[in-house]
Structure 1
Amino acid sequence: MKTVVITGGTDGMGAALASHYLRESERVVVVGRSRVKFEALLAALAADDPATTDRASFIAADLSLTAESRRVVEQIKARHERVDVLVLAASFIRQKRHETVEGHEASWVLFFVSKYILTTGLTSLLADSDHPTVVNISVPGARVEAIDFDDLESVRCFSFIRSNAQQRRANELLGILATVENPTLAYLTWGPRRLVKTSFAGDVGWVMKMSSVILGAVAAQRPADAIEPIIALVADPPTGRAAYRGAARVPLVHGPHDADDAYRLATAIKEY
């Protein structure tokens, strides 16, 4: 039985993955903000297989807070001897800069810092797996210069596009750190091939929300369909770093200072 940890596992692709692995009789740890959504997901599965409840657990957390991410790591380490698959799927879209009670920019923490804390914090448990895999749902392909190391939290200038690009690039570089720590790890930066139907959780304007609704109705795929490539990759993961759009492998973006930039990020996170 595998142990699968899924952040953002109560909605969208995260919930679809949680449902899939529970149906496959794996042990699943769901990290999310809504216990109500988790209970609803579990009730639907338990109607067909009551044993599902014995294999599923929930950790309530707001991963835009670093203290919450560290608490999640400690709870997982206290309850489990091994993690086979870590899926980083938590999402909350913000069009404007938002500072948390910890004094950090919420999107940067949620979409990168929390992923860094979970990936590095669970290194020892992943190392005990025969085929350790991290699936980081963060569309690959951001440009090399996307990170502003002098303004990681976008204090001077915030835009959704700039923030998104910086997070995506940082998550690709996180793979360097993760695979150095564990050479047997499969670290997959993954994005869907096309739009996925979701509840679109976030603090966004009406234009973005309406655009999402319209495009979702016309062109979006169901989460259950979108995750099929992830399931296939987890079943037979490539060792090392790799990037995918849907089922298609795409080139990793290489810069002249990738290793230095990765360790520069690691040094910055120590201040959180």
Structure 2
Amino acid sequence: MINVFLCEDEEMQLEYFRYQISQYIEENQKDARLVSARRDPEDTYNDAMKIGSQPSLFIIDIELPGFSMDGFQLVQKLEESRFPYWYVFLTAKSELAYKVFDYRLRIVDYLVKKPELFQKNEVSEEVINRFNAIFEQIEKERNKPPERIWISDKTSRTGIIVDQIIYVQTVKGKHSVEIYSTENNYITRKSIKEMEEILGNDFILISNFCIISKKHIKKVDAAKRIAYLTNGYECGISRRHIQEVLKICEVR
């Protein structure tokens, strides 16, 4: 079951999309339900926290004037939970549509709010096609086995889910690294450089001794050069790498 959340500040448009989403789910027999339709992004966030870690799709207006945050800021706040969430942005300005993909988030799609859409009582063909593509992509991601890296010792081989890795750090005095994940810690005889190549673009080197997951960054203190990560971890950032880390935070 996918929980669907809608956040739209205009009352008429909120009711329109509430109807469209509910009708689409019912008519296409999707394993989903609309659980929240709100104007205030704070209300959307609070509703999501009540649901917790269940898979959820958020359909959010980009511009939310008069409220404490806009659509981008709401998504960034939701991402701190590390729950399985997907996002679709609503916008009245087509020039903002492509901007949504600048953010390193699970953005599935966007919908441009065309005036002619709001003159119809039935679910429009355009909306049906967009929602078909959205749910198809979500189902693919849900059914896709998690990506793993494999480490070995003399007696066993362990697969570590990449999304669960928070950071990797060299073990002092040894040609080894320790991998810190949400589930456990692991030591393997590899270098930081080798781990950087294995883990790829979702991770960033913050010193000669440490790699962190971009997805697990909660905040960065530029003055102290510290990255605060999920699970309460803190990692020092070298002077050489601080600007690169701060750029990553700007687009999250």
- Range into which the TM-score falls when normalised by the shorter chain: 0.3 to 0.5
More strand by percentage = 2
Q: TM-score, normalised by structure 2?
A: 0.42
Pick 1 or 2: higher relative contact order, CA cutoff 8 A, min separation 6: 1
Q: Indicate the structure (1 or 2) with the bigger Cα radius of gyration.
A: 2
Q: TM-score, normalised by structure 1?
A: 0.40
More helix by percentage = 1
